[in-house]
Amino acid sequence: MLKKLVNNTIVRLISGVIIGLLVGPYLNDILLQIILSTKHILGQLILFLVPLIILGFIVSSIAKLDQKSSVIIGFSLAIAYISSVGAGLFSGSLGYTILPWLDIPSTAATGRALPEMLFKLDIPPIFDVMTSLVLALMIGLGILWTQSKPLEIAFDHFKEIVLLLVNRVLVPLLPLYISCNFALLSYVGSIQSQLPIFLIVIIIVILAHIVWIAILYTIAGLYAKKNPWEVLKHYGPTYLTALGTMSSAASLGVALQSAHKSKVLKPEITNFTIPFFSNVHLCGAMVTETFFVMTVSLVLYGHLPDVSTLILFVLLLGVFALGAPGVPGGALMASLGLITSMLGFDDTGIALVLTIFALQDSFGTACNIVGDGALSLMATAFHERQQKREAQ
């Protein structure tokens, strides 16, 4: 039990935050240089992996779209993207409405200055985030159109390698990376006053998840012309499983059971849509990440992203979500390059977003997988209408 607790990612991240906050005020020049260099190297490794994550997962996801039920796949992919982007825009509107009223003191011009880094090792990515996204889309579409099975298999293996790198390099290094960042923030002396704000923001995001689930099921009920409660009422066990596992994959079996209990869903549809949406529909992650990047931007840099930048960020984030790795925080990890290139976040900003994202990741996962039931209701109604048209 103790070993399992120690190996838990959330526990390790929280421990990293606590250790960083405690040791930060007592750092001397030598320790500061060590922590500054460690943070920089770890940040470089993380950003180096980002284009590989995008390339591996998005290519593999697109190549897998070649199935007989191409129409239902296209519809499912479209509503998953629309739901994810809608969730991000909903979260952004909440951020512009709520965050200015929280009286968040900016750390942009406060606290002690950090010394110049003496040892700096740069590890530039193979290509930038937009290049990797376009390349992934082009290669994925090429494989899809040419039916190149050898290339599809090759990129499946590449995806497995990238996933191993995420699980064995990125995730284990995150607690140390976050600990270094929080130690430096604590040394500067401004982060302590921000902790209550982050707790409030986490509560707001969890409530936003619940509101978005209600919106999704309302829209699904109107589209399908059926009572969405006939689906939602069976999803209690699925929500609790997702909270406990922080994984859509680990909750998949329970989600299928919940869907099969519904009288308005068809098993032949849900057997495809539930696993499919668990990989491409990340509305909870979109709500979370959008609100958190706005909060961190205000806390660290003293301003909210402008509206046009945030809208473009959400539209691209929805694409990234379609090919995100199936690990806790996968959508955020896949979009780290987007956060740095579009929003201008530095290592400290990335560490803060990673930390508060991880603290509520189980609620985001629960929102994702419960929302899949609403989309499955839409897909069922779409399939029924398609069958009626073909029968005429």
Give the pLDDT of residue 44: 83
Confidence at residue 108, expressed as pLDDT on a 0 to 100 scale: 47
Structure tokens at 172: 């284990």
Give the pLDDT score at 52: 82
- What pLDDT sits at residue 367? 92
What pLDDT digit, counting tens, does each position of 153-162 carry? 998 899 888 8
Q: Give helix 336-343 / helix 129-146 axis angle, nearest 10°.
A: 130
Q: What is the pLDDT of residue 214?
A: 95
Q: Which residues of the chain register pLDDT less than 50?
A: 67-68, 108-109
Q: Which pLDDT does position 31 carry in this prediction?
A: 86
The single residue listed with the structure tokens 């499983």 is 241
Q: Please report the pLDDT score of residue 82 as a whole number.
A: 94
Q: What pLDDT score was predicted for residue 9?
A: 63
CB 79 within 8 A of CB 379: yes
The pTM assigned to this predicted structure is 0.72
Per-residue H/E/C for 135-201: HHHHHHHHHHHHCCHHHHHHHHHHHHHHHHHHHHHHHHHHHHHHHHHHHHHHHHCCCHHHHHHHHHH
Q: Are 54 and 323 contacting, i.e. CB atoms less than 8 angstroms apart? A: yes
- The predicted pLDDT at position 313 comes to 92
Residues 37-41: contacts with CB under 8 Å, at least 24 apart: 37/117, 37/118, 37/119, 37/120, 37/121, 38/176, 38/180, 39/177, 39/180, 39/181, 39/184, 39/347, 39/351, 40/117, 40/120, 40/121, 40/347, 41/121, 41/123
CA distances from 105 to 18, 69, 126, 339 (A): 21, 53, 37, 22
